[in-house]
Amino acid sequence: MALNIADLFEHAADAFGDRLAVACGDLRVTYRELDQRTSRLAHHLASIGVGPADHVGLYARNSIEAVETLIAAYKLRARAVNINYRYVESELRYMVTDADLVALVYDRQFAPLVSAVLPDAGKLRGAVVIDDGSVPGGEAPGVRYDAALAGQSAARDFGPRSGDDVYLLYTGGTTGYPKGVLWRQEDVWRTLGGGIDFLTGEPLADEWVQSQKGAAGALVKLCTAPLIHGNAQWAALMGLFAGETIVLVPKFDPQVIWTAVQQYKVNVLVIIGDAMARPLIEEYGAGSYDASSLLALSSSAALFSPAVREACLAALPNVVITDAIGSSETGFTGISFVSAGAKSSGGPRVTPGPSTIVIDDHGRRVGPGEMGRIARGGHVPLGYYKDPVKTAAMFVEVDGERYVVPGDFARVEPDGTITLLGRGNVCVNTGGEKVFPEEVEGAIKEHPDVFDTLVIGIPDERLGQSVAAIVQPREGVSLDLADLEAVVRQHIAGYKVPRTVWLTDHIGRTPSGKADYTWARRFADAKTGTAAAAEAAPVQAGG
């Protein structure tokens, strides 16, 4: 069996040639057209020297061309490299060199940055420029996308592929520079691509099951996140394996998204946590959109707080809402079906996947009521790209089996479910107590005048660290900090309540909506390093 991303897509293209595959803005392609265009792009990339195990950078917003770039790379047994389109010159230079790019596909609007880093891109053999509708300004290095496809063959003459071919996903870099996570394609398919039943762990029998099931009819799925994020990549790829129609938006815009839901009769809306859910639900309530086709709202990869969860349930009472947890290093680790009025236990509470456990610092499984780190066995990644030290630290052996441990902390509940507490590298150690920012952020969002927030630790002479919150009030609202403290104290213990609160009109997040704690630290450093005492609004925290 060739349990390979390109093969799985081609099976669906053969089965559903005339079915709509991808829609983005006013552009659409059928499965047959998508297959032919990806083969043409693959032949162009091969003509400039791209081959197996080479790295092809994707530096673009969502588009049909972005989807085609992913599939074209896999057809060549190469690896697509996701590059954040918000990166500035130094960050782009890091990605081009760290990922050893041999080719780059990018939106024309980013041409000035691409030109600036080219002198340091010694391995780059060529670039392809996507016409993104931006006004041409100066030189855009590379070949125009349409010209790259013109004259190339649509034949599938790439040779056999393997489940051992490698998939590469760079982490979001929410706490520093991103790292590349390497997976065998069969393993990542089994983990994220539908190659296994997420609840039972039962693997699909072969590479044909998904396309065969799609023959009876398929869903329409809208991926709100950018394809530079694993959430959107795998929601789209898994859908394409099964003959679904994938709807994309060039950028996150609640009005555009609900209009697309109505236009394409979307069945599944895939989001990433509060940062997407809250503006979407508020726009839905303010508008007059027809979402009667919607069957499911699927959130993963970021916090889904109780306040936003309840708002989603109230706005979409007939829609199944799920909250899944996981990471670039583990893939799927657990899922919950969200229900109204569910008691909060400090974070997303999920049924763990069949290979998910929680371990202590000595690599032993923890029991009910105990806290530890999430670990996942079974199909696990190969490690980090070019980083053997971090790769070695990424794995542990439990009862003779190899597990990947990305650093997410969780608590085991009496009924066997687990509550995700947060990432260990952003945990605040205040007076010897661990405080996970995600739990505090959820409590702050219970206040009706709060739109968004990030929580971090700042230096404290007595406690080591103290909890600080950056809070974005709703537009036009004057937030009462004493009232905010009172609300927060209703949901978390006193030692977790922020001692310092800064107000801002903007919270820094990644393009996928995930928390950008690097931004939050810079914000806090600017405050504490200058006129912090005058500008910060202190909040007393009791025991």
Instruction: Note the pLDDT tens digit of each residue in 396-413.
Output: 999 999 999 988 899 999
* Cα gap 80→74, rounded to integer Å: 7
CATH number of 460's domain: 3.30.300.30
* Cα gap 246→238, rounded to integer Å: 10
Instruction: Note the pLDDT tens digit of each residue in 347-376.
Output: 678 899 889 999 999 999 999 999 999 999
Instruction: Note the pLDDT tens digit of each residue in 416-452.
Output: 999 888 888 888 989 888 898 988 999 999 999 999 9
Residue 258 lies in a domain: no
Q: What is the pLDDT at residue 344? A: 59
Q: How many domains, in total, are found in the chain?
A: 1
* Cα gap 542→496, rounded to integer Å: 9
* Cα gap 456→414, rounded to integer Å: 30
Domain with 457, as residue range(s), is 427-538
The HSE-up count of residue 394 (CA atoms within 13 Å, CB side) is: 23
Mean pLDDT of the chain: 91
* Cα gap 410→135, rounded to integer Å: 48
* Cα gap 385→461, rounded to integer Å: 39
Please identify which residue in the block is written with the tokens 């950018």: 226
Residue 9 lies in a domain: no
Residue 482 lies in a domain: yes
Q: Crossing angle of helices 230-241/5-15, nearest 10°?
A: 40
- Residue 542: pLDDT over 60: no
In sequence order, the 6+-apart residues with CB closer than 8 A to the CB of 506 are 472
Residue 512 lies in a domain: yes
The alpha carbon of 502 is separated from its chain's Cα centroid by a whole number of angstroms, namely 27
CB 454 within 8 A of CB 441: yes
Residue 478 lies in a domain: yes
Residue 515 lies in a domain: yes
Weakest mean pLDDT among 62-66, 281-285, 433-437: 433-437
